[in-house]
Amino acid sequence: MQIDIRTTNLQPLRHTFAHVARRLGSDKPASRYQEATFDLQPTTSFHYRPLWDPERDLYDERRTAIQMADWYIFKDPRQFYYGSWTIARAKQQDSVERNFAFVEKRNLLDLMTPEWKQKVQEALVPLRHLEYSANLNNCFITAYGYGAAVTQATMLASMDRLGIAQYLTRIGLVLDGNTGAVLDVGKQAWLNDPMWQPLRELAEELLTLQDWFELLVAQNFVLDGLLYPLVYERFDTRISENGGSALAMLTEFMVDWFAETNRFTDMMLKTAAAESAANKTVLEQWVRRWTARVAGALAPLTEHVFAAEAEAVMRELQDDLRTRAKKKCGLDL
Amino acid sequence: MAKPMNMRDKYNRMTRDLGWEPSYQPKSKIYPQIEFEGIKIENWEQWEDPFRLTMDAYWKYQAEKERKLYAVIDSFAQNNGQLNITDARYVNALKLFLTGISPAEYSAHRGFSMVGRAFPGVGAQVACQMQAVDELRHVQTQVHTISHYNKYFNGFQDFRHMHDRVWYLSVPKSFFEDAQTAGPFEFITAISFSFEYVLTNLLFMPFMSGAAFNGDMATVTFGFSAQSDEARHMTLGLEVIKFMLQQHPDNVPIVQRWIDKWFWRGYRLLSLVAMMMDYMLPKRVMSWKEAWEMYFEQNGGALFEDLARYGIRMPKYWEVSVQEKDHLSHQTWATFYNYGHAAAFHTWMPDAEEMAWLAAKYPDSFDRWYRPRYEHWIAQEKAGHRFYNPSLPMLCQTCQIPMLYTDMDDPTQVVYRSTEYQGEKYHFCSDGCKDIFEHEPEKYVQAWLPVNQIYQGHCGGATVPEVLNWYHLRDGQDNRDYLYSEDRQNWLRWKEASSQLETT
């Protein structure tokens, strides 16, 4: 049975904006993602050369070695614009909040053996500093990258990384009952402990990288691509085996976030590589170079957690990353 | 359960405690932009966080606002809410907003991501990044809100293309690019302080109040939704200024010069808002003059009294802005009326009732200087000689507005200022704009001046139809008089159809 509500039926003059219609090939209804993304960044009629980069325009394609005929063929598989992103994150945050409350109320992290609780403090908490530099790196890409399709996703990623750094901070506070002592020890380790120095050196080097696409490859594809499986999958499994399965409730966000964000990162590499042989070569060089560099920087941390198996673990993670580069991005390494 | 940490300590742990002093790379390589403007920061730790918002709370509040806003946008579209506005003429204010202001929100988004990376202090980085993502929100929600209007009215459809090309849109475009191409401290003084803190109530709010007064449910809902973001941005603006001034006495003259510059640049940009307030709203909120008195003379005056203890005075030429308040909107609207064939919105002459309102609001200027001019144009139009100015106006090298503002002692005399730089002569609408140029001539000679670009053959050709075509401005649909526009014809047809439906 059909119930009719009579309303004024007006014929629209058009279905979307003209610049969107040109990209869709005709004037047809466009998605919110498309209307919020296409051509948002100015590409022409720039008034002044930046005082901080007088050789280039305010927005300039020449800030990376990657060359594209059209920067809007990068399409976020998640179709994130601000609204869909923030609503998705708020939902996840609800579940994080419940998990923290559950773990804290029952002191579930105390179920870990002291030895493993110590390992979590040593190997997980200092990563909040690395997340902070990941936040700055994505902010750099947003600032100097090209095209709203790319830079809006990295803007959202910057805020995600700040959120993750804050979740790790909260884990530190849960571990010591909100005194901040664990965070202080962790920061000292980040600054001085030999185990963390190669990684901190890498983080500081990434903060000086000038080619934004290379930074995206180094940080979001290679460093995250090795670190997240290492910490949030392999290390996490070990912790669970040693009475720490509750920790997984507190790192669930990171696991889900990584799987979700990889879809964007893989699309970036795949699309750029498919554009030209020159892009593909550059990307392959970057992935190769940064994989060696990152694997070296992660070695002491891996050894600390996996002892004798460390080398094998790191080899497997690199193999996995190479497989991902091949299968998801079309890169031959 | 453990005793919670106090809010301030917790926020510190969540933000500035994340950072560290680098030792493998020199700081100057990580933060290369921080020296060249001459601003001295002794200690970034003294930065006071203007608001303490962690990402968990941010996501929660913002998502709630987004859900509500999009529910209203959807229902507005479903119920053809555009039929409930006071008159289709109102939509022209929205056209000015989408083509002129929304792209500026995008610039703010990118600009704040630049400074959110450029500043070395974590507190400042986080505050700037939050504003960067908020500004992304604003441009996107504005596009989504106005998307429905685009389906039913002309002039919105190619707003991105137009923003980079159309002559008067270079006014907001050059304003934001001027800020973005400056150093990080000047950018944040320009946008956070001069623009957000001193002038927001004169830019953003008139459009939103205009929407409320004219039955535009969708846009006013956006306005309410953005209000708490704007409040955060304003507190950031004040913190930035106080922080710079407290850090080192050498900063004071630099900051003062930026306040002078950005006040004047912002004020000139606001002339577009002034004409919107006085001429474009079928139901007006307040006059430009009243708004300037309330938001600048009173509120701004109090602010600068407060800043006096740091050695900051009122922005240079503020007195000129007060003298001009009786004339600004009229001179601007008259210019757009004369160039109505080259504007991406419709123009018109005020009717008798509107002229009475203008006369009441502007007793010292309207009847004497502007009514006679308007009555003359109305008579010409009735006689079949609607006046369109066929020549291209000379633009001010700094603010890029046509040279239209007059001497306040003699409103028949246009102000011309000029200066020479490297053998070339440059023209200005005011002493304020001339001063800005003379301080950084090497920057302002680069300006992409729309009229000069047309003369140089970069805009599709030398004739008006060629240039309009290059703008993607459809002659007869997007421009000229409201009275004969497609917008108005459609509106009357739709209103009739919907009133017939009500009576059946």
Query: Tokens in use for A328?
Result: 């998801």
pLDDT tens, B394-418?
999 999 999 999 998 888 899 999 9
Other CB atoms within 10 A of residue A293 CB:
18
Residues of chain A with Cβ-Cβ distance to B477 below 8 Å are: none
**Which residues is B395 bridged to in the sheet?**
B402
Q: How deeply is A277 buried, as exposed, middle or buried, from its count of CB atoms within 10 A (0-12, 13-18, 19+)?
A: exposed
Query: Tokens in use for B482?
Result: 């409201």
Cβ–Cβ contact A151 with B under 8 A: yes
How many CB pairs below 8 Å do chains A and B form together?
Answer: 252
What pLDDT is recorded for position B131? 97
Angle at A212 between CA A208 and CA A216, to 5 degrees: 100
**Band of residue A9 on the pLDDT scale cut at 50, 70, 90:** confident
Residues of chain B with Cβ-Cβ distance to A7 below 8 Å are: 78-80
Residues 434-473 of B with CB under 8 A from A: 443-444, 446-448, 453, 472
- Whole-angstrom CA distances from A278 to A208, A273, A322, B354 are 24, 8, 19, 64
Cβ–Cβ contact B83 with A under 8 A: yes
DSSP state string for B337-358: HHTGGGSSS-B----HHHHHHH
Cα atoms found within 13 Å of the Cα of residue B273, Cβ hemisphere only: 26
Length of chain B: 504
Q: How deeply is A61 buried, as exposed, middle or buried, from its count of CB atoms within 10 A (0-12, 13-18, 19+)?
A: middle
pLDDT tens, B346-398?
999 999 999 999 999 999 999 999 999 999 999 999 999 999 999 989 999 99
Interface contact B147-A16, CB threshold 8 A: yes
Contacts of A161 (CB under 8 A, 6+ apart): A131, A132, A134, A135, A138
Nearest residue to B287 (alpha-carbon basis) of B401, B404, B366, B375: B366
- C-alpha A151/C-alpha A76 separation (Å) is 11
What pLDDT is recorded for position B201? 84
Cβ–Cβ contact A194 with B under 8 A: no
Residues 46-105 of A with CB under 8 A from B: 46-52, 58-59, 81-83, 86-87, 89-91, 93, 96-97, 104-105
| pLDDT value at B300 more than 80 | yes
Q: How deeply is B104 buried, as exposed, middle or buried, from its count of CB atoms within 10 A (0-12, 13-18, 19+)?
A: buried
Q: Indicate the average pLDDT of chain A.
A: 96
**Band of residue B138 on the pLDDT scale cut at 50, 70, 90:** very high
List the single residue in A with minimal CA-CA distance to B64. A87
Pairwise pLDDT comparison (A28 vs B197), residue with the higher score: A28
**Band of residue B504 on the pLDDT scale cut at 50, 70, 90:** low
What pLDDT is recorded for position B498? 80
Interface contact A17-B125, CB threshold 8 A: no
Angle at B317 between CA B315 and CA B321, to 5 degrees: 105
In a mutational test of the B interface, the residue from A52, A60, A156 whose CB has the highest number of chain B CBs within 10 Å is A52
| pLDDT value at A302 more than 60 | yes
List the single residue in B129, B173, B446 with the smallest CB-CB distance to A158.
B129
pLDDT tens, B143-160?
999 999 999 999 999 999
Contacts of A25 (CB under 8 A, 6+ apart): none
Residues A16/B150, Cβ–Cβ less than 8 Å = yes
Helices and strands (DSSP H and E) totals, chain B: 24, 2
pTM passes above 0.95: yes
Domain assignments of chain A as residue spans, ordered by start: 82-329
Cβ–Cβ contact B63 with A under 8 A: yes
Instruction: Map residue B309 onto helix, strand or coil.
Output: helix
Interface contact B18-A159, CB threshold 8 A: no
Residues of chain B with Cβ-Cβ distance to A31 below 8 Å are: none
What pLDDT is recorded for position B502? 63
- C-alpha B322/C-alpha B204 separation (Å) is 20
- C-alpha B170/C-alpha B269 separation (Å) is 10
Cβ–Cβ contact A178 with B under 8 A: yes
List the single residue in B with minimal CA-CA distance to A102. B1
- C-alpha B274/C-alpha B221 separation (Å) is 22
| pLDDT value at B81 more than 70 | yes
| pLDDT value at A3 more than 70 | no
Domain assignments of chain B as residue spans, ordered by start: 35-503
In a mutational test of the B interface, the residue from A142, A205, A254 whose CB has the highest number of chain B CBs within 10 Å is A142
pLDDT tens, B467-503?
999 999 999 999 999 999 999 999 999 998 887 766 6
The dihedral built from the CA positions of residue B410, B414, B415 and B416, taken in this order, carries a sign that is negative
The long-range contacts involving B313-317, CB below 8 angstroms and separated by at least 24 positions, are B313/B256, B315/B194, B315/B259, B315/B260, B315/B263, B315/B264, B316/B260, B316/B263, B316/B264, B316/B432, B316/B435, B317/B260, B317/B263, B317/B264, B317/B430, B317/B431, B317/B432, B317/B435
pLDDT tens, B436-471?
999 999 999 999 999 999 999 999 999 999 999 999
| pLDDT value at B422 more than 70 | yes
What pLDDT is recorded for position B1? 60
Share of chain B above pLDDT 90, in %: 92
Interface contact A190-B160, CB threshold 8 A: no
**Band of residue B105 on the pLDDT scale cut at 50, 70, 90:** very high
What pLDDT is recorded for position A7? 63
| pLDDT value at A70 more than 90 | yes
Cβ–Cβ contact B38 with A under 8 A: no
Interface contact A204-B56, CB threshold 8 A: no
CA dihedral A41, A44, A46, A52 (to 10 degrees): 60
Residues of chain A with Cβ-Cβ distance to B254 below 8 Å are: none
**Band of residue A6 on the pLDDT scale cut at 50, 70, 90:** low
Cβ–Cβ contact B173 with A under 8 A: yes
What pLDDT is recorded for position B31? 98
Cβ–Cβ contact A158 with B under 8 A: yes
The arrangement of secondary structure in A82-329, i.e. its CATH architecture, is: Orthogonal Bundle (1.10)
Cβ–Cβ contact B95 with A under 8 A: no
Interface contact A36-B25, CB threshold 8 A: no
What pLDDT is recorded for position A283? 98
Kindly provide the ipTM of the predicted complex, given to two decimals. Answer: 0.97
CATH number of B35-503: 1.10.620.20
| pLDDT value at A2 more than 80 | no
Interface contact A166-B56, CB threshold 8 A: yes
| pLDDT value at B110 more than 60 | yes
Interface contact B113-A143, CB threshold 8 A: yes
